[in-house]
Amino acid sequence: MNGRTAGSSSPSADVWFNWNAIGVAAQQPVSAPPYSGTFFDETLRDGLQAPNIRNPSLEQKLRLVDHMVRSGVTSADLGFPGSDPAALRTCVDIAQHIVRSGHPLSQGYAGRTHPSDINAICEIAQQVGVAVDAYIFIGVSPIRQYVEDWDVQLIQRHIRESVVECRRGGAEFVLVLEDAVRCTPEVLGQVYDVAIDTGVRRVTLCDTVGAALPSGVESLIQWSHQYFQDRGHQVAFEWHGHNDRGLALANSLTALAHGCERVHGTILGIGERAGNASLDQLMVNSHLDEHGRYDLKALREYSDYAASVLGVEVPQNYPALGRDVFKTSAGVHASAILKAHEKGNLLVKDTVYSSVPASCLGREQEVLIDEASGANNVKYWLTLHGYDSANTTLIKNVLAKAKSSRGPLTDEQIRQIIANAE
């Protein structure tokens, strides 16, 4: 099947297939493997494809690798060496840096099912003397087949040839199925049969255009697990998601919960169109849910460095890492934070009005004083800075200034009010 109606050049109905339409309940239930997935950092490959991203220098790429490792990343896609000779040299330099630094980072490199792409990946393994994963991608959905004038037999042949090339060159073959979310069970089954025949042990399911809902992710993964299980072939699944519908994070967490061994993402969610799944948000959620241990302070440093060298502007309200995410000016919030502060328990103070503890990222809860504030906002500031928080006249003076200002008072403005009152 290649997405065409027999005897016609028009597309068939399965061109618009999507796993969101397949109900989980209609399938035979499959017990998911234990939750043990890790994250695969795509920043230096898929992340750099976005038109708004500045291409970093080699030195900056090496520093990005250092940051991802310090954060707790254990595997990454480090480039597309088959794109041109310069890209191959850069990938070799990155691989050598990882080896010299003793980084515990599993190295992956991307390529098409073209022999030249695969040979470039294998050359890295041979030059540097290191194990590498060859993430070899091919589109499989009916809509891709229709547009490209492919058929399933062509796809099967390319996969077989790619497996042989990888094994000949000493790279670990990983089958990457582009647009798997929009690929019919009929076509997927034929692709999976080739994976079984050739002994493929790792398959990456891609939501290439961000079309999936969490229910679709669950359906696709359960069906895929069952397909291989029924045929007695053990395979590890990975998930690669994009954010076109704003669901990449939810979809990726769903993939983790259903046994995917690696889930892909990019720092700050960078990538083409609406971006990839946000690696930092995945790590924060996994850390807080105790599904993995990550250094969130190092993650913050990673994101700050990446933003600066890649030309990314981090929104002020960006989860966990935005400038304003631990700030509040509401009086009721300030009251609760003040009371928590007086109890002397940092974790209580950190979480009474936040699900993400600021201290995990090397930050603090910030209580602002503006036109929406009440007396407790001022009391908290005075307590924190060693002033008399019971001075009602001073509190009134500070609030009066705040009500007439067009934004939060700065520390210097508050100190000036105190100085004028003395």
Q: Are 53 and 269 in contact (CB under 8 A)?
A: no
- Residue reference for tokens 């210097």: 412
Would you state the pLDDT for residue 7? 45
Domain coordinates in residue numbering, the chain:
13-310, 327-421
Positive or negative, the CA dihedral 17, 18, 21, 23 is positive
Q: How far apart are CA 341 and CA 334, in angstroms?
A: 10
Would you state the pLDDT for residue 6? 44
Q: How far apart are CA 214 and CA 222, in angstroms?
A: 12
Q: How far apart are CA 239 and CA 218, in angstroms?
A: 11
Helix then strand count (H, E) for the chain reads 15, 10
The fourth-level CATH superfamily of domain 13-310 is Aldolase class I (3.20.20.70)
Q: How far apart are CA 67 and CA 61, in angstroms?
A: 10
Pair of tokens at residue 15: 């061109």
Distances (CA, A) of 383 to 265, 390, 411: 42, 9, 13
- Residue 31 DSSP label: P
Distances (CA, A) of 203 to 160, 264, 303, 399: 14, 13, 29, 60
Q: Are 283 and 39 in contact (CB under 8 A)?
A: yes
DSSP lists the bridge partners of residue 173 as: 134
* Cβ density class 327-347: b for 16+ within 10 Å, e for less: bbbbbebbbbbbebbeeeeee
Q: Are 356 and 339 in contact (CB under 8 A)?
A: no
The C-alpha angle 369, 370, 374, rounded to 5 degrees, equals 65
- Helices 375-384, 331-343: crossing angle, 10 deg rounding: 40
Would you state the pLDDT for residue 28? 56
- Residue 23 DSSP label: -
Q: How far apart are CA 344 and CA 364, in angstroms?
A: 14
Q: How far apart are CA 339 and CA 353, in angstroms?
A: 12
- Residue 112 DSSP label: E
Contacts of 19 (CB under 8 A, 6+ apart): 181, 182, 212, 216, 217, 219, 220, 223
Predicted confidence pLDDT, tens digits, the chain (422 residues):
566 654 456 788 888 788 888 865 555 555 555 567 899 999 999 999 999 999 999 999 999 999 999 999 999 999 999 999 999 999 999 999 999 999 999 999 999 999 999 999 999 999 999 999 999 999 999 999 999 999 999 999 999 999 999 999 999 999 999 999 999 999 999 999 999 999 999 999 999 999 999 999 999 999 999 999 999 999 999 999 999 999 999 999 999 999 999 999 999 999 999 999 999 999 999 999 988 899 999 999 999 999 999 999 999 999 999 999 999 988 888 899 989 998 989 999 999 999 999 999 999 999 999 998 999 999 999 999 999 989 999 999 999 999 999 899 999 999 999 998 77
Q: How far apart are CA 119 and CA 81, in angstroms?
A: 9
The C-alpha angle 368, 369, 375, rounded to 5 degrees, equals 120
Beta strands in 171-303 (DSSP E): 172-178, 202-207, 236-241, 262-265
Contacts of 198 (CB under 8 A, 6+ apart): 159, 160, 163
Contacts of 93 (CB under 8 A, 6+ apart): 58, 62
Q: How far apart are CA 320 and CA 317, in angstroms?
A: 8
